[in-house]
Structure 1
Amino acid sequence: MITPDSPSARRWPGLRDAAALAAALALCLSASGCSSLLGEGTAAGAGIAGASVAGALTDNAAVATGIGLGVQAGARAALQYSQRKIHAAAQDRIAMAAGPLAVDAVADWKTDHAVPLEPAEHGRVTVSREIGGKSLPCKEIVFSVDDDAKSSAFYIAAICRDGQTWKWASAEPATERWGSLQ
């Protein structure tokens, strides 16, 4: 890892800025209030860090621009991958809560994230009907995403049993996503 006092940073002074930015991003990841900063600032911060590193490594503007754009695209892809993993974990929590329920029964669900890229969420889930068959048991569910203002948003999805585990079975819609869980 490159630190401000490492030999690489002394050889290339521009790397100090990149190391400082990386440290700030790591600190931000540990604070739950930074999710909007990460969503909007990841690409910009990575572009700045990439340009700083590129400027320290080369005097060629085209190469420096390429390095900066590559770092920016990589950071954006990494953030999107992390968000997809968080959404899949939330879907698994909802499916886990709904799987053992009978039709019309209600259960609570919630998420807690090890890395707070998004706020923890919670709500209720109920099974509206059983679908599929004996060899493919599935359920249609209705769930809420509740906020602290005592209001809820409601959604419909499908879950299916995969061995002993219930898994999310709804395809991602082609239209606007429903909140932060899809």
Structure 2
Amino acid sequence: MQKKMLCAGCLEPGLKPRLKVRRQPEARRGWGNATVLVALSLALASALSGCSSFYTEGATAGAGIAGAALAAKVTSNAAVATGIGLGAVAAARAGVQYSERVVHRNTQDGIAKIAGPLEVGAIAPWSVTHSMPIEDDEHGRVTVSRTISAGALDCKEIVFSVDHIATKNVPASSAFYVASICRDGENWKWASAEPATERWGALQ
């Protein structure tokens, strides 16, 4: 009887480390897989220049995976895990929308800078190279159609084109838009987004 108790006492310490050793690799493997998926999603999304919809979906998917991995690590409560996941997705979408607004604002200010010094009827080329490759670099022409006001409030109406060069399967084309610009000190700023929401979407 004493031998059995001694053996049980000897085995007991040996069993605990085995259980721990089996559980730790599984947790690490799950966390590692989630990390790899997040990295692949974000890398693929950022690599595709001009695919803003893919960028949006990639960032959202990456946030969802990261949120799920974090939730699994922090809690086993389904409600709390859902909250963490939704919060991560919402934060990712807010970040995507902010980055798109920055890109659009830079494009608008770039056109305004070229158009500001022009006289009515004069035409000048414009081009924008995005530092964040979530949209295609663009170029076109801009002209001042009329002077809206002068003096303390110096504003002009402009017409600008977005020109697409010809490719093997698609002929060259241009799209035209109307907007207003106003002088702000030494700089010219975009006064309004043109009515064409197909260009700026909800992020005017």
Q: Give the TM-score of the pair, scaled to structure 2.
A: 0.75
User: Residues 112 and 18 (structure 1 numbering): CA distance in 2 closer, same or farther, change over 3 Å?
Assistant: farther
Look up the match of 1:168.
190
Q: Cα 1:172–1:154, aligned 2, differ >3 Å: closer, same or farther?
A: closer
Question: Does the alignment pair 1:177 with 2:177?
Answer: no
Q: How big is the shift at 1:114? A: 1.4
Gaps of 5+ in 2: 1-24, 167-171
Question: Highest relative contact order (Cα 8 Å, sep 6+), 1 or 2?
Answer: 1
Matched residue, 1:107: 124
Per-residue displacement from partner, 1:36-78 (whole Å, max 9, x unpaired)? Answer: 4212332233112211221122111111110000000000000
Instruction: Output the CA distance in 2 between the equivalents of 1:23 and 1:44.
Output: 11
Deviations 1:85-116, CA, capped at 9 Å, x for gaps:
00000000100110111111111111111120
Larger radius of gyration: 2
| Counterpart position of 1:93 | 110
- 2:32 partner letter: R
- Between 1:148-157 and 1:13-22, the stretch displaced more is 13-22
Aligned length: 172
Counterpart of 2:77? Answer: 60
Residue type of the alignment partner of 2:143: T
Residue 59 of structure 2 corresponds to which residue in structure 1? Answer: 42
* Cα separation, partners in 2 of 1:126 and 1:59, compared to 1, 3 Å: same
Distance 2:88 2:158 in 1: 41
1:27 to 33, 40, 43: 43
Cα deviation, residue 147, structure 1: 1.5
Return the structure number with greater helix share.
2
**Structure 1: stretches of 5+ with no match in the other structure:** 1-9
Q: Provide the rounded CA distance (Å) in 2 between the counterparts of 1:80 and 1:33.
A: 15
Aligned to 1:16: 32
Residues 17 and 52 of structure 1 are in contact (CA less than 8 Å); yes or no, is this contact kept in structure 2? no
State whether residues 46 and 75 of structure 1, in contact with CA within 8 Å, keep that contact through their aligned partners in structure 2: yes
Instruction: Calculate percent identity across the aligned residue pairs.
Output: 57
Find the aligned partners of 1:34 and 1:100 in 2 and give their Cα distance: 33
Do the aligned partners of residues 33 and 12 (structure 1) sit closer, same or farther apart at CA in structure 2, a change above 3 Å counting?
farther
> Bigger shift: 48-57 or 93-102?
48-57
Greater CA drift, 10-19 or 85-94: 10-19
Match of 1:158 in 2: 180
* Structure 1 residue ranges, 4+ long, deviating more than 3 angstroms after superposition: 33-36
| Mapped contact 2:158–2:180 kept (Cα < 8 A) | yes
CA-atom RMSD in angstroms: 2.4
1:88 alignment partner, SS class? helix
| Correspondence 1:71 to 2:88 | yes
